[in-house]
Amino acid sequence: MTTTTDPAAAAVRSIGTARTRVEGRDKVTGAARYAGEIPFAELAHGWLVLSTVARGRVRSVEADPVLAMPGVLAVLHHGNAPRVESDFVGMLGVPPDPAAVVFQDDRVPHAGWPVALVVAETSEQAREAAETLVVHYDQEPHDVAFSAGHPGAYAPESAGYAEAAVEKGDLEAALAASSVVVDAEYTTPEEHHNAMEPHAAAARWDGGRLEVVDSNQGSTWVASELAQMFSLDPGAVRVRSEHVGGGFGSKGVRAHQVAAVMAATVLQRPVRVVMTRRQVFSLAGYRSPTVQRVRLGADADGRLRVLEHRSLSATSTVREFVETSAAAGRALYPADAHHTTHELVRLDVPTPTWMRAPGEAPGSFALESALDELAEKCGVDPIALRTRNEPDRGPVSGLPFGSRNLVACFEEGARRFGWADRDPRPGLRRDGRWLLGTGTAAASFHAGAGPSTAAVTAEADGTFTVRITAADIGTGARTALTLVAADTLEVAPERVRVRIGDSDFGPAMIAGGSMGTRSWAWAITIAARELRERLALDGTVPPEGVTVRSDTTEALGALSQKERHSYGAQFAEVAVDTATGEVRVRRMLGIFAAGRIVNPLTARSQLVGGMIWGISMALHEEAARDRNLGSHVGADLAGYHFAAHADVPAVEADWVDDQDPDDPIDIKGVGEVGIVGAAAAVANAVWHATGVRHRHLPIRPDRVL
Ligand code: MOS
């Protein structure tokens, strides 16, 4: 048949209009199936067994009694599991996580290390057998105590995507020239991912192909690592992950997928492995605790001469991971001496990982609190202080900004929050037994894109199908991509169907680093543009449709070097109970410059979600480890507190006009910037309320009193 794109629709743009999720009805009616609930014929169930000791070796696994239990099919452990390859560098530029390459040797590097998988006919049988399984260990002394001044602290050579150390300018000279100095230590605790949907994967062999149904942040990533681990042709692995109940950096290649593939291989039947909530605390990565020293030196008017930020975080003995907290100021403020460095201490703990706004979330707490302290010392308004230190080029890189608009965020935020009426003096406002205060902080997060491929098909029935290995981890990415495709094709979004989460669609960027939607939108835009042009020349669509494919690798490679970030201004008002020490956030406002906003409805949810996480970080979240056992205390949602509905007031997020001129549709990223600075805004408000600085998170009642 003949199809046309509709020029009239071009006037009614979809980008920028608020749309509910295209899969929303499926999600709320239960029609959307998650990895843990997709049925397979002959499905067997694997249950992971985690080490109860914090360091040592597995001496023996008493598999026989468990194999005699009802329904039990296999017990996999280091003595019998298939050998896999781990000596390679994966899609994200690092070797696979050793905790994911399960059952390869007897070493136990931390409590909660996977030591066995029990497989049974039902999940309940697997669980009972797993809980019965006796594992003998040779225990060794362990160290899980993270603290400043740990004797093992060392400076890492690299910090992943950020430089580990940048030291520009003469620190001592700039300090000597400063009239005002703030020198303070801030700490943040170990914080944990708790996606609503725990990690789950089912694996099966289909002919010569391995098929995995998973919950992940990138099926290309998982498929390529599984292919390398199991020495398979990349085309012989298919990973699907259509609906994902949260990810935040934790849903990569982990023990459950690899264990499921091993079991499916050994048993030659489909096997599913689902992590329990408690297992997620040990197996899915987390945010390292930090100790951060910030030294700011400034002229009397607050103009910075010194920005020194040194961050200590923890890593494991099996892998190096740096929480890049000190990098937070590199794109924010200029100073004559700009020193930002990281140190690590290796402990007998699981390896930390990315967790929403890795680096910037804890880093901004320290840096933006220190700036508030500087504003206080200089007698300068905190917003004026930031405006005064606004750079015209990257403070460390010297590169031009893609787009910035941080000052515009503060101006709009100040106007809407009512900042102009604020009395800067602390501890003066009362509402009954409550002390009231307001605080602000800046936010920034890197905006980038990763190479992706997409295919856009004009179907014979006049609709369009987009295929891309995107992951919608709850962000609304799929809906945003629908709007992007519709606008480029100049059709109504109802005529566009976006299919995601299938590695067979070709390589694509992960949902991570706030880069997912931008990366995928770029690829879709290129393919859809070419398809529209082709259809304009010849609108005839054969029964199999007309498909155009794209690959952004070259376009991204040709991008000029710039400082590209999303920015924001956070505002919080708190009330502090002088009798109990309880801190209540009364309202919160965040104004962001995050590029063109594709779908205001879901973008706002992303930003608000980040801000709520910031409240949670400021007031509640803190994982506790038992030093003797080396394992968590209360690794569940009863013991690990985060902000519940009753803790969250009216949270408002909005944005200023902002475009990234180098992006085909002007977008940047909204994934992580919402949490950045949020905890500092709350902490600064607590100071304003009480006159007391809180430099250690969370700001628990016992710390307030
Ligand atoms: Mo995000 S921490 O890159 O999933």
Which of ligand 1's atoms lies nearest the C-alpha of 514? 3
Give me the pLDDT at residue 6, please.
57
Which of ligand 1's atoms lies nearest the C-alpha of 217? 4
Amino acid at 527: A
CA–CA separation, 116 and 322 (whole Å): 29
> Ligand 1, residues 354, 475, 606, 676: which to mutate, most atoms within 8 A of Cβ?
354
- Which residues in the chain show pLDDT less than 50? 1, 9
CA–CA separation, 298 and 295 (whole Å): 10
CB-defined site of ligand 1, < 6 Å: 217, 247-249, 354-356, 358, 512-513
Give yes or no for a contact between 630 and 146, defined as CB atoms under 8 angstroms apart. Answer: no
How crowded is residue 587: how many other Cβ atoms within 10 Å of its Cβ?
A: 14
**672 annotated active-site:** yes
Structure tokens at 340: 């930002």
671 Cα–ligand 1 center, Å: 8
Which of ligand 1's atoms lies nearest the C-alpha of 672? 1
219 Cα–ligand 1 center, Å: 15
- Least Cα distance to 316 among 92, 512, 158, 143 occurs for 143
- Assess whether the previous peptide bond of 198 is cis (omega < 30° from 0): no
**Residue carrying the six token digits 């990138």:** 218
Structure tokens at 581: 């020490």
Give me the pLDDT at residue 672, please.
97
Helix axes 678-690, 360-378, angle to 10 degrees: 30
> Ligand 1, residues 199, 324, 356: which to mutate, most atoms within 8 A of Cβ?
356
CA–CA separation, 6 and 22 (whole Å): 21
Which of ligand 1's atoms lies nearest the C-alpha of 251? 4
Instruction: Count Cβ neighbours within 10 Å for each residue of 237-272 and write b for 16 or more, e otherwise.
Output: bbbbbbbbbbbbbbbbbbbbbbbbbbbbbbbebbbb
- Least Cα distance to 661 among 592, 569, 591, 596 occurs for 596
The 3-class secondary structure across 103-147, one letter per residue, is CCCCEECCCCCEEEEEEECCHHHHHHHHHHCEEEEEECCCCCCCC
CA–CA separation, 24 and 26 (whole Å): 5
Structure tokens at 674: 């919402």
597 Cα–ligand 1 center, Å: 19
Length of the chain equals: 705
Which of ligand 1's atoms lies nearest the C-alpha of 249? 4
566 Cα–ligand 1 center, Å: 15
Q: Using alpha carbons only, how large is the chain's radius of gyration in Å?
A: 26
Burial class (CB in 10 A: 0-12, 13-18, 19+), 545: middle
Give yes or no for a contact between 116 and 368, defined as CB atoms under 8 angstroms apart. Answer: no
- Least Cα distance to 696 among 436, 366, 374, 327 occurs for 366
186 Cα–ligand 1 center, Å: 23
Give yes or no for a contact between 229 and 221, defined as CB atoms under 8 angstroms apart. Answer: no
Give me the pLDDT at residue 4, please.
56
- Closest protein CA for atom 4 of ligand 1: 249
CA 693 from centre of chain: 28
Helix or strand or coil: residue 61?
Answer: strand
CA–CA separation, 67 and 70 (whole Å): 8
Q: Dihedrals φ, ψ of 435, to 5°?
A: -95, 135
- Assess whether the previous peptide bond of 698 is cis (omega < 30° from 0): yes
CA–CA separation, 306 and 298 (whole Å): 7
Give me the pLDDT at residue 539, please.
85
Domains of the chain by start residue, with CATH: 7-32+449-557 (3.30.365.10), 44-141+194-283 (3.30.365.10), 401-447+564-705 (3.30.365.10)
> Ligand 1, residues 672, 675, 676: which to mutate, most atoms within 8 A of Cβ?
672
Amino acid at 533: E
Give yes or no for a contact between 315 and 323, defined as CB atoms under 8 angstroms apart. Answer: no
Pinpoint the alpha helices (H) of 186-274: 219-229, 255-267
Q: Does pTM top 0.95 for this prediction?
A: yes
Pinpoint the alpha helices (H) of 146-232: 171-176, 219-229
Give yes or no for a contact between 578 and 433, defined as CB atoms under 8 angstroms apart. Answer: yes
Helix or strand or coil: residue 436?
Answer: strand
Amino acid at 690: T
Structure tokens at 164: 């580990």
Beta strands in 40-81 (DSSP E): 44-50, 56-62, 72-77
Give yes or no for a contact between 130 and 278, defined as CB atoms under 8 angstroms apart. Answer: no
For residue 429, what are the β-bridge partners?
436
129 Cα–ligand 1 center, Å: 35
CB half-sphere exposure, 363, CA atoms < 13 A: 31
Which of ligand 1's atoms lies nearest the C-alpha of 357? 2
Check 23, 459, 652, 672 and give the catalytic one: 672
583 Cα–ligand 1 center, Å: 28
249 Cα–ligand 1 center, Å: 4
CA–CA separation, 164 and 156 (whole Å): 7
Give yes or no for a contact between 542 and 501, defined as CB atoms under 8 angstroms apart. Answer: no
For residue 565, what are the β-bridge partners?
446
Give me the pLDDT at residue 7, please.
53
